[in-house]
Each structure stands twice: as structure tokens, then as C-alpha cells.
Structure 1
Amino acid sequence: MKDGGRLAAAIEVLTEVENRHRPVQASLKDWGTSHRFAGSGDRTAIGNLVFDALRNRASLAAVMKNPSPRAAVLATYALTWDKGLEALGQAIGQDRHAPEPLTPAETANLTEDADAMMPWERADVPEWLWSDFESFFGDDAVTEGRALAARAPIDLRVNTLKADREKVLKRIAHTGAVATKLSPLGSRIIAKPGPGRLPHIQAEEGYQKGWFELQDEASQLAACIVQAKPGEQVLDYCAGGGGKTLALAASMQNKGQLYAYDADRLRLAPIHDRLKRAGVRNIQVRDPASTTLDDLKGQMDLVFIDAPCTGTGVWRRRPDSKWRLTEKALSDRIEDQRTVLRHAREYVKPGGRIAYVTCSLLQQENQHQVDWFLKEYEDFELGSLSDAWRELFPAKPLPKYASVRGELLLTPASTDTDGFFVALLKRSS
């Protein structure tokens, strides 16, 4: 396919995503199935156009003075991908499968300086969320929003039960992977610009042998800083597919007992293959359909909660979710989080702790939930993750949004990671 056909395909997919409110991955998969002539490079380029258009939807709509999928895709190619107006005109004019020619208004908007944008447009943050976003980040709000609109890298966590980072980096040197700046267990493959594609890392021999897992650096740090120790009793209460479960097991050096549970049985299903590949031996998977956790009440040294949330911290990876998020969805997640916290506290033994983690940047899901919990349950107090950071990473500066009282917030702009919030809640002895 030529670029003109790729542009037309991206417009078609993005139109379906917006008009039918479909997940972008499903729409891209269906397009590929019905257009089998498109090669892997074509599908990658089309997907990149669609995802970049979604990442920058508000700012591109402001530039083009038009919120349509066509306007977003054309501006992505010319501006975000830095191809320019001339290349865009050639792509359209030299391909019979291309979109309609540029209108005079489109040409003008792509060449003239954009009128002054609203801050939420420059930041590519939904307008209804902007006041909350700005109230926390202040003068950095636009910078943080722009970082959330960038492409995310591929991050890998070395499985210390089977390998070390030097071994992993040597084996995947052909991918251009480098050591992560913060996590001592991480490797990173930088996202490529424009139509560039990233390697299929799951096909690598090291992945098949269980030497490493796909896991963002912030997620690695969250699992590390709560310090699950060898010999402890640990419950991963919202285990999902098991990414953080595996990281906790490695921290425990396969010693002690780690229980993996998730109320959604389907989310838990992938964990079994991952455990086998990683060589983990100290995990019990508790299927919600066939067992309870009653025997664990009051027994856990650590209950790890990767809480259900809006996912605002991972907008780089799921840009369509940014524009689907509603006030009701946020309200529902807040109630879900409180329900999870209420239940999880039952499993913590005296002197034990809860690690409360979200991939959200919103105070309502983070600091405000910690405040609610500490007011509701006076036998818990807030632990200091700043102290834990200094102990674990003495050569690394404390992250910008580490709170005075002890919580930790990682963000794309401040730590070059996904957005993650971590708080440690300690039960009195």
C-alpha cells in the first residue's frame, strides 16, 4: 500500500471507532481481516496513524478547526509525523485509493499557526477533567498532558529467578534495548516515530524461556518498593493476568507463600502459563469460582491491591480510553476501590500492610482514597515510601511527586514511565 491508501484506511478505522464506540484494537483487527492484501508494515502504519490521532485528538482538532477523523489523520501525518504539507499532498495526489484532495481550509490550517488553544486542548486532556488535572499538577499540567499523549516504549522486567539484566540485554541487543533509568530490573525499547514498528518481543527466545516479562518500569517500581520479603505471606488481591504477581514472587525469591486472586476469573486465566514459564513455585492461584479466601483472614504480612481504576496513567498505551472516560465511570471506580479496600483489610495481620496501587493520576482515586481509608479505619497508618525509595535506590533522586506524607506518584513527564500511584497502609500491632 502507498501512503494515500494508508491514510484512507486510518480514516475509515477511526470513523468506526468514534461512530460505533468500538475499541480501537477490535476495529483495526476487523479492518485487517477484511483487507488481507495489506502487509504487516501497512497494518502497523495504519495502526500508528489511528493511535497517534487519538493521542492528540483535542490539539489536532484545534489546529484543524475540525474534530473529524479525516482532519485528525491528515494532521497526524503532516504535523505529528512531521511529513509536511507537500508530502501529504503527494500522498493524496499519487494514489487512487487516497482520501479526497485537501480543501483550501485544510491547507490553510496545516500551514498557518494555530489560534490560541485552551490549556486542555494543548494538553490533550478531556475538558471535563482539566480542573482536577490542573489542581494537582499546577503549572506542569500541560507538560504532563503532553507526555501522556506521546508513544510509550516497550519495557521489560528481568525475571531474577532465571536471569539477570546483563544476560537479557545481551540476548536482545538486536532490538536496541537499553537499561531503564530507575528500575534495576528493567530494559527498554524506545518507540519508533511515524510508521515505525516495534519488535514482537514475545517471539524472542528469552521471553519463551521466562528470562523476562513485559512490564512498564512504573509497574516494576511499584512491585519493588512495597518490599515483599522472602518467607512472608502475601496476597495479590487484584492479580489480573499476574504481571505484578510474578514480580512479587521474584522479590520473595520463591520463599514464603504468595496467593493470587482476582474477582474476575477471566482476567486471572493467563496467569497459569506465565507462572510455568517464569519458574515460580511459591504461588497459589485462588479461583473465585471454586474457593474462598476465608482461611487467609488476619494472616497476611502484605496485601497488594492493584486497584480497578480509570487508567488515566496509561493513556499513552490506551489513547481511546482517554476520550471514552466519563464522570460516571470515575464515580464507579471510586466505589469499586473502596469496596476492594474494605475487603482487603480483613486479610492483613496485626503489624502487616496494604500496598494500594493504581495506574491513575487523579487525586480522587489516589490521595483522596487514602484519606478516606485512614479516616474509616483508625487501626491503619500511612507508611513512608519516600524512606523506602531512599533505602532501595540511594543513588536515584526522589521522584518529583513523592508526597511529604509518604505516597509515591510516577508520571510520564517526571519519571519517563506510565502514571502509577503507590501508598503503603500499615496496620498497628
Structure 2
Amino acid sequence: MTPAARIETAIQLLTEIMDTPRPADAIASLFFKNRRYIGAKDRAAVAGQAYGVLRRWARLSWWIEKVGAPVTPRTLVIADLMLSQGKTPESIENNFAGGRFSPPPMSDAEWKLAKALETRTLAHPKQPDPVKVEVPDWAAEPLQRAFGDRFLAEMGAMLGEAPLDLRVNPVKGTREEAIAQLAAAGIEAKPTALSPVGLRLEGRAPIMALQAYKDGLIEIQDEGSQLVAFLTDAQPGMQVVDFCAGAGGKTLAIAAMMENRGRVVAADVLAGRLTRAKERFRRAGLHNIETRPLANERDPWVKRHKLRFDRVVVDAPCTGTGTWRRNPDSRWRPLGPGLSELEGLQASILESAARLVRPGGRLVYATCSLLPEENERQVEGFLARHPDFTLLPVPEAWPANWGAPPVKDVMLRLTPLRHDTDGFFAAVMVRKDDGSAPVAEGEGEAEEAGEA
């Protein structure tokens, strides 16, 4: 592709992302699937241009609005070419020459924008702090309150791309064996700093095409997500529920910790995701997992199985503020419920899932959010309502046979700045063992008909 064709294709991709209420990675995948004639290098260049705009959206928009132009896919790309790539107005005009594969010629307003930005840089002292670090209005106040004078540093660490982390499946092999297999494929991998089964790659690689992936030795999973699974300290023979299992990443990690013994129930309200996760379970060689579609968080299945599980994991739906490095579009295009609605949903899910925990069992609450409203406040509210649960500090929850705990805090709080992981939160709560016996299976089923 010519440079002009790449620019036009990036504008088309950005337009689809802005107009389609789906995650940008799914839109991009379908976009390129429908354009198989685009080669690998051109795909990378086009995606890099489009995602670069998403990562610099607030600053680019600030400049465009300052000049008085409308914010559109074309003006965003023009501004990005000027401010991030150092192009001249004349070189941009040459690429916007019209023709079959080139962008249509620049309008007078677009030319004025390019000329106005000719001597500018992306950053400007007058940009508000949230603009400087690409924080949307809806999240600015809670994040500023959460981080205080660390706000700019913490959010600045989220401007770049996330690293590519892998989790080694101990049922299939060791971390050293995985490193050797990756090296044989020409891929350098190093042990992660916090997860005892994690690997971090230098650069990008086609992981799903590797034999180590096809054989189930490795899975793609951020290091922070791996740590959440370890906080269950799930042992062989236990009964475990992953209550919001999604695509099954934590389910896989927990089942592997249990050495294929015991029972892991992957539950979710999205049955389609559970169906797709089954292939991951088979590839990993894990046979102690079953799936359980739920109608909602208060599905009758929960009442029938109250007090029956040693471990219950609630990876609650959240704003995803901790994953902005991976999903920069989610800053500007929230596709699910807003923060206030999510807070109510998280509390409801936690309340219902807690019924499954047996006396002495653990309830692990986690999010990929940096907002206290979704994290500490939820845990504090739950504990205030449930004196039969107590908080277990991370160092005590961490399994002794997997090395030193990653942090010394009571609750797990990970950020890209301090830990070079996605933003994650987790808290471990234990139901007091007062001698209560689990409800009989038949008793729960008899009550189902009257459940609200």
C-alpha cells in the first residue's frame, strides 16, 4: 500500500470504530478480515495509526477544538500526522490527493488545521490535567481523588501499550520448558516479576500460531490477572466457582493449581462466552471444569448450592479503567453500564455469590478497575453487611508453595506505574466457621420454586 492508501484505510477503520458500538479490537479484526488483500505490514501500519489516534484522543481533540475545527476521523488523523509524526502540511496535502486509494482532497478547514499545527507539539502547558493523561470526564474526578498528587504519574503510565504476558500451564510443563520452546521459535520470553507462572515477551508475536499454545502449555493472560487466581489458594480436591468466568482465563489458572482434581464451575450470564471457553479448557488438558450458564446473578442454581463451595471468585463487571493500555477506545466509548449502575450490579453479584461460600471458605472479589467505588468501597460495604465474613490480608492468602506474596498490603492493588501490570484489585474474604452445616441439595431444590 502507498502511504496515502494507508492513511485512507486508517481513516476508514477509525470511522467504523466511532460508529459501531463494539470493542475496537473486535471491529478491527472484522475490518481486516473483510480486506484480506491488505498484507501483514500494511495491517500493522494501519492499525498502528488508528490505535495511535485512540491513545492520543484527548490531546488531539483539544488541539482540533482550539483551532476551531470539528473532531472527525479525518481531522484526528491530520492532527496526529502533524503533532505525533512531525509531518508538514504540504506532505499531508500530497497524500490527500483523491483518487481510488487516497483520501479525498483536504477541505479549507482541514488545511487551516494543518497550518495551525505546523509549529506545535502534542503537549501544551494549558491542557487540563485529565487531557494531558487522556482521562475522560466521567473518570477524572474519581481517579484524581483516588491517586491525589500521583494522578498525573499513574495515568501517564497508562498512555503506552501494555506488554504481552503469558501464563504457563503447570499441568503441561514448567516455565523453563515454555521459555525453551518459545526460544526455539525465535521468541524471547522472561519470567514475570510477580507471578510464579508468568512470562513476558519482548515485543509482539503470533502466539496462537505456536505449537506451545496449541498444546496448551501457554495462555495469554496479564500478570495481574494471574495473581488474582493465586489468591484463591485453590487446592486439589476442592469445590470452586468462578462466578463471572467470562472467557475462562482465571478458571484455567485455578483448575491448573488444583492439578486437575476437584471441581471448578465456570459460571456466567453470557452463555456464548462459556461455550467458546470450552475449547480453551480442552486445549489446556483440564478435565475438572464444568460450565454453568446463569440467567442472572440470582439464578436459582445459586440458592440450590449455597454453602457448598470452598472458593468463590467474583471477577465483577466494571468500568475497566485498569485496562486502558489494552483498550484505549474504552476511555471514550463506554459500551456497558455507567459507574453508578455498575456499583449496584457489583454489590448485587457479590451478595448473591457469597451464598455459595461454605464456612471457612474464601470469597475473592476482583475487578480490573482503579476506582475505589468499585473496589475498596464495595468490600467495605459487603463486610459491614456481613459480619460472618472477615478480610484476609494478601500475604496470608497467598499460597505458601508458590513463593513470596507479590505485595504486603491487606488488599491487592496493582497499577501500571507501580507494578507494570494492568490495573487490578482483589480482596479475599473468609466466611467464619461457626460449625454451620451446608444446606442439603434437596432442600435447596425444593426452595427454588419460591425464590425471588
TM-score by length of 1: 0.88
Aligned equivalents of 1:265 and 1:228: distance in 2? Answer: 25
Aligned residue number for residue 53 of structure 1? 53
Q: Give the one of 118, 132, 135 matched to 2:128.
A: 118
Q: Provide closer, same or farther for how the CA distance between residues 291 and 3 of structure 1 changes in structure 2, counting only shifts above 3 A.
A: farther
Determine helix, strand or coil for the equivalent of 1:49: helix
Aligned equivalents of 2:225 and 2:55: distance in 1? Answer: 21
Determine helix, strand or coil for the equivalent of 2:51: helix
Aligned equivalents of 1:187 and 1:208: distance in 2? Answer: 17
Decide whether the 8 Å contact of 1:249 with 1:283 is kept in 2: yes
Per the TM alignment, residue 280 of structure 1 is displaced from its structure 2 partner at its CA by 1.1
Aligned residue number for residue 43 of structure 1? 43
Q: Provide closer, same or farther for how the CA distance between residues 327 and 172 of structure 1 changes in structure 2, counting only shifts above 3 A.
A: closer
Q: Deviations over 1:95-143 (max 9, x none)?
A: 7544446725424425324352100001101023211001111122122
Aligned equivalents of 1:235 and 1:28: distance in 2? Answer: 33
Aligned equivalents of 1:258 and 1:287: distance in 2? Answer: 14
Letter in 1 for 2:193: K
Moved more, 124-133 or 2-11: 2-11
Aligned residue number for residue 93 of structure 1? 94
Per the TM alignment, residue 395 of structure 1 is displaced from its structure 2 partner at its CA by 6.2
Q: Deviations over 1:2-55 (max 9, x none)?
A: 222212221222133324555434543454355443222222221222122112
Is 1:141 aligned to 2:139, yes or no?
A: no
Q: Give the one of 63, 74, 79 matched to 1:70.
A: 74
Letter in 2 for 1:85: K
Determine helix, strand or coil for the equivalent of 2:233: coil
Aligned residue number for residue 428 of structure 2? 424
Determine helix, strand or coil for the equivalent of 2:422: coil
Aligned equivalents of 1:279 and 1:35: distance in 2? Answer: 35
Q: How does 1:285-324 map to 2 (within 5 A)?
A: 285-288=291-294, 292-324=301-333
Aligned equivalents of 1:255 and 1:392: distance in 2? Answer: 17
Q: How does 1:20-31 map to 2 (within 5 A)?
A: 20-21=20-21, 23-29=23-29, 31=31
Aligned equivalents of 1:327 and 1:257: distance in 2? Answer: 31
Q: Which runs of 5+ in 1 are unaligned?
A: 192-197
Is 1:185 aligned to 2:185, yes or no?
A: no
Aligned equivalents of 2:208 and 2:16: distance in 1? Answer: 29
Q: Give the one of 356, 368, 381 matched to 1:347.
A: 356
Q: Give the one of 380, 397, 413 matched to 1:409.
A: 413
Q: Provide closer, same or farther for how the CA distance between residues 8 and 228 of structure 1 changes in structure 2, counting only shifts above 3 A.
A: same
Per the TM alignment, residue 341 of structure 1 is displaced from its structure 2 partner at its CA by 0.8
Is 1:175 aligned to 2:187, yes or no?
A: yes
Aligned residue number for residue 194 of structure 1? none
Is 1:278 aligned to 2:287, yes or no?
A: no
Aligned residue number for residue 450 of structure 2? none
Q: Deviations over 1:397-416 (max 9, x none)?
A: 737xx4xxx11111111111
Determine helix, strand or coil for the equivalent of 2:290: strand
Letter in 2 for 1:280: L
Aligned equivalents of 1:123 and 1:351: distance in 2? Answer: 44
Q: Provide closer, same or farther for how the CA distance between residues 18 and 354 of structure 1 changes in structure 2, counting only shifts above 3 A.
A: same
Letter in 2 for 1:166: E
Q: Provide closer, same or farther for how the CA distance between residues 111 and 20 of structure 1 changes in structure 2, counting only shifts above 3 A.
A: same
Aligned equivalents of 2:402 and 2:152: distance in 1? Answer: 29
Q: Give the one of 246, 249, 255 matched to 2:261.
A: 255
Aligned equivalents of 2:413 and 2:32: distance in 1? Answer: 38
Structure number with bigger Rg: 2
Per the TM alignment, residue 205 of structure 1 is displaced from its structure 2 partner at its CA by 0.3
Moved more, 157-166 or 371-380: 371-380
Q: Give the one of 105, 117, 122 matched to 1:109.
A: 117
Aligned equivalents of 2:180 and 2:50: distance in 1? Answer: 34
Q: Provide closer, same or farther for how the CA distance between residues 263 and 19 of structure 1 changes in structure 2, counting only shifts above 3 A.
A: closer
Decide whether the 8 Å contact of 2:230 with 2:398 is kept in 1: no
Aligned equivalents of 1:279 and 1:286: distance in 2? Answer: 19
Aligned residue number for residue 330 of structure 1? 339
Q: How does 1:204-243 map to 2 (within 5 A)?
A: 204-243=210-249
Per the TM alignment, residue 427 of structure 1 is displaced from its structure 2 partner at its CA by 1.0
Determine helix, strand or coil for the equivalent of 1:370: helix
Count residues with an aligned counterpart: 415
Q: Which runs of 5+ in 2 are unaligned?
A: 434-452
Per the TM alignment, residue 179 of structure 1 is displaced from its structure 2 partner at its CA by 2.0
Q: Give the one of 382, 389, 394 matched to 1:373.
A: 382
Letter in 2 for 1:51: Y
Decide whether the 8 Å contact of 2:79 with 2:114 is kept in 1: no
Per the TM alignment, residue 60 of structure 1 is displaced from its structure 2 partner at its CA by 2.2
Q: Give the one of 176, 196, 206 matched to 1:166.
A: 176
Q: Provide closer, same or farther for how the CA distance between residues 252 and 387 of structure 1 changes in structure 2, counting only shifts above 3 A.
A: same
Q: Deviations over 1:380-429 (max 9, x none)?
A: 11110144459678767737xx4xxx111111111111111100111111
Moved more, 205-214 or 62-71: 62-71
Aligned equivalents of 1:390 and 1:291: distance in 2? Answer: 33
Determine helix, strand or coil for the equivalent of 1:13: helix
Identity %: 38
Q: Provide closer, same or farther for how the CA distance between residues 231 and 29 of structure 1 changes in structure 2, counting only shifts above 3 A.
A: closer
Aligned equivalents of 1:213 and 1:155: distance in 2? Answer: 9
Decide whether the 8 Å contact of 1:407 with 1:423 is kept in 2: yes
Aligned residue number for residue 195 of structure 1? none
Q: Provide closer, same or farther for how the CA distance between residues 279 and 20 of structure 1 changes in structure 2, counting only shifts above 3 A.
A: closer
